[in-house]
Amino acid sequence: MRRLEGKRALVTGGSRGIGAAIARRLAAEGADVAITYHRAADAANKVIEEIRSTGGRALAFASDNADDQAIDRVVSSVVNEFGGVDILVNNAGIFEVGALEKTNVEDIERNLNINVRAVVLASRAVIPHLRSGGRIINIGSCLATRVPAPGIALYALTKSALIGFTKGLARDLGNNGTTVNIVHPGPTDTDMNPAAGDSAEGQRQRIALGHFGSPEDIAASVAFLASEDGRHITGAELAVDGGINI
């Protein structure tokens, strides 16, 4: 089923892991897909070539999420190439841990700029181009609402901020038929948090289903929310975490 035929999607941080899986899934559902990446040009090009090899349209743009003007340039380029934007997936982010008293102002600003401000700026840039039925999907975290270990305060702050932003923007954009939702992944088998990593067993013991998720699990939920099947869901938090926060 190609539920996104004729749609144009932008996925930030789409070169690897969850972002790459989302890009592939949206393309498989029929969407034209653009991704951003920071330094992983080779990985981004691989994702693009995979999509193109199946007949899809795909583009990759280098973009630093801490750069105020970068996302405006990317959105303009996507609109010029694809003719518009229907779906924005705010996936790009960083995960840095450590005691708050050992962080400096630059650390705090970097986390807020990339995990929060960049989401706001990308959404602001896309809104003028969204038609009725547009979609904004933010990628949060199971750590936004429950923090089981020390050293995660700053990261949890940034992801919990996205909950309020999602709900507020859903209210703002509801009149034009645009939905805004947030997906909270739990432990997901990526190079950032491998299922065979040193801390994996402790995480696995807290997951109700007993195993890590895959990037494709997150991508499937994003594709559902992006499709017409998700047309009456907005301002919602969708946990795709194997039950770690039950």
The answer to whether residue 156 sits within a structural domain is yes
The answer to whether residue 204 sits within a structural domain is yes
Largest CA distance in the chain: 51
Q: Mean pLDDT in the chain?
A: 97
Cβ neighbours of 80 (radius 10 Å): 9
Query: Which pLDDT belongs to residue 66?
Result: 77
The answer to whether residue 2 sits within a structural domain is no
**Catalytic residue check, 37:** no
In angstroms, the CA 241 to CA 207 distance is 8
If 0-12 CB within 10 Å is exposed, 13-18 middle and 19+ buried, where does residue 50 land?
middle
In angstroms, the CA 194 to CA 198 distance is 9
CATH label of the domain that carries residue 117: 3.40.50.720
List the domain range (segments joined by +) for residue 152: 8-240
CB 225 within 8 A of CB 137: yes
The answer to whether residue 1 sits within a structural domain is no
The answer to whether residue 3 sits within a structural domain is no
Query: Which pLDDT belongs to residue 82?
Result: 98
The answer to whether residue 245 sits within a structural domain is no
Q: What is the mean pLDDT of residues 138-143?
A: 98
169-178 exposure pattern, b = at least 16 Cβ within 10 A, e = fewer:
bbeebeeeeb
Q: What is the tens place of the pLDDT at every residue in 183-239?
A: 999 999 999 899 999 999 999 999 999 999 999 999 999 999 999 999 999 999 999
The answer to whether residue 246 sits within a structural domain is no
Query: Which pLDDT belongs to residue 30?
Result: 98
Q: What is the tens place of the pLDDT at every residue in 148-199?
A: 999 999 999 999 999 999 999 999 999 999 999 999 999 999 998 999 999 9
Among the options 37, 82, 155, 165, which is catalytic?
A: 155
Enumerate residues 6+ apart whose C-beta is below 8 A from 168: none
* Nearest partner of 89 among 28, 131, 138, 20, judged by Cα: 138
Q: What is the mean pLDDT of residues 111-129?
A: 97
Query: Which pLDDT belongs to residue 67?
Result: 85
User: DSSP states of 105-150 as a string?
Assistant: HHHHHHHHIIIIIHHHHHHHHHGGGPPTT-EEEEE--GGGT---ST
pLDDT band at 68 (very low <50, low <70, confident <90, very high): confident
Looking at the structure of the chain, the number of domains it has is: 1
152-167 exposure pattern, b = at least 16 Cβ within 10 A, e = fewer:
bebbbbbbbbbbebbb
End-to-end CA distance of the chain: 32
The answer to whether residue 65 sits within a structural domain is yes
